[in-house]
Amino acid sequence: MNQIPITRPVRLDVQITVLRPDKSFAVGVPLRVILGTASDWQSPSAGEEMVTGGDGTVQRTIPVLLASKRREVPSSFWARLLASRESTRQVQVAVVMEYAGRLWLSAITVDRRASGASLRFDPMRVYGRASDGRFTDDVPLHDGSWHKRLPSGVMASLPGFVITQATLDPESPAVDNAAWRLRVTLQQWEPHALSGVSATAGRGA
């Protein structure tokens, strides 16, 4: 049964875990976390600055308005042809972290299907800072990866981490549940080596 759309904010328990490239906990990593899509979410001051603790996590419980969506959820090629729309609850989470000597904003949306599974339908979006300081400089996605030419002329692969987990779950099965959990795990890449990529590398702009 589809959930009844809820227009009031819910209490969202947010936990973001950052892992080193070797999957150990990344302790003392500064990041800024922005939830939702308010008009200022790409502002350099949006969200909350946090630092990962001894277990590599940051955690907050805050009120958030979960979007109600109807989306196609096919499971195969043939199912895609006949796919019907299914109700989901959705939240956007964006993280600002440093990589290759610059700050980048990376945003994902996480959907919770009425049938009980968490999914990411859309690819992550990555933004650099524009001349006005806002994170609106869209980094293009080519062949499943993001690349941006730095001011030095060097091409950098972004955003500096991979998302290994992203789930959105209600605290209880109640249709009007007012408490939810968002769990996101990021695994960092190795530090960017400027000497390893030339400015003329044919990897897109």
The one-letter amino acid at 102: R
DSSP 8-state symbol, 174: -
Are 93 and 8 a contacting pair, CB within 8 Å?
no
**What is the number of alpha carbons within 13 Å of residue 196 lying toward its C-beta?**
7
DSSP for 72-92, please give it: E--SSHHHHHHPPEEEEEEEE
DSSP for 14-39, please give it: EEEEEE-TTSSB-TT-EEEEEES--T
Q: What is the pLDDT of residue 44?
A: 95
Q: What is the pLDDT of residue 204?
A: 32
With 60 as the cut, is the pLDDT of residue 202 above it? Answer: no
Q: Name the residue with higher pLDDT: 13 or 83.
A: 13
pLDDT digits (tens, 9 = 90+) for 155-193: 899 999 999 999 999 988 766 778 999 999 999 999 986
What 3-state class would DSSP assign to 194?
Answer: helix
What 3-state class would DSSP assign to 58?
Answer: strand
Instruction: Output the pTM of the full model.
Output: 0.82
